[in-house]
Amino acid sequence: MTQRTELATVRDRLAVDELVTEYAAAVDDGDWEAYRGLFTPEGRADYRSAGGIEGSAREVAGWLAEHLEAFPVRQHLIVNRRVRFGVREQDTGDTARVRADYVAPMGRTGRDGGPAEPDLVCGGRYAFALLRTDDGWRLSEVVVREKWRRPPGPPTAPVIG
């Protein structure tokens, strides 16, 4: 690999990582216009494993806006990001896949405007598909695979015996 190629790869990795971070921030902030802007025009998202819908970024943004309204306090963390750039024949390096784990605590507004206790915490794995466009990297697909969920209320003690 030449130094120029290595630099381009590093720049692409940073841009892809920034896009995934912008995705998390848009969802947490409820910025659905920004959310839609992260996708290609044909971009799709699939939240069915978390009880949601599958559809265009516009449709899913509407669904998220409606269903996350009950949890105005959101801070989801996307970790363990594994980035792979296109390797198919005739791929010019303009596609990428990111597999990343997430933890998403969500809560209602805290008492007296103070910090909120999480009312719901869930976790799982994202599969992001990205495409390099004239406007930079954009999401062509997001698939959510929820693995676990802790509902509101105190944890229940295990039954022994």
Show pLDDT as tens, one digit a residue, over the chain (161 residues).
Answer: 566 667 888 999 999 999 999 999 999 999 999 999 999 999 999 999 999 999 999 999 999 999 999 888 899 999 999 999 986 555 667 999 999 999 999 988 766 666 667 788 999 999 999 999 999 999 999 999 999 998 766 655 555 65
Q: DSSP class of residue 48?
A: G
Q: What is the pLDDT of residue 153?
A: 61
Helix, strand, coil percent content, the chain, rounded in steps of 5: 30, 40, 30
- pLDDT at residue number 60: 98
What is the reported pLDDT for 8?
A: 83
Distance in angstroms (rounded) separating the CA atoms of residues 129 and 140: 5
Catalogue all structural domains in the chain, each as residue range(s) with its CATH number. Answer: 3-150 (3.10.450.50)
pLDDT the model gives residue 119: 83
* pTM for the full predicted model: 0.86
pLDDT at 7: 81
Rg value, the chain, Cα: 18
Beta bridge partners of 128: 98, 142
Spell out the residues 6+ positions from residue 48 whose beta carbon is closer than 8 angstroms to its own.
Answer: 54
> Which residue, 81, 43, 78, is CA-closest to 59?
43
Tallying the residues shown for the chain, one arrives at 161
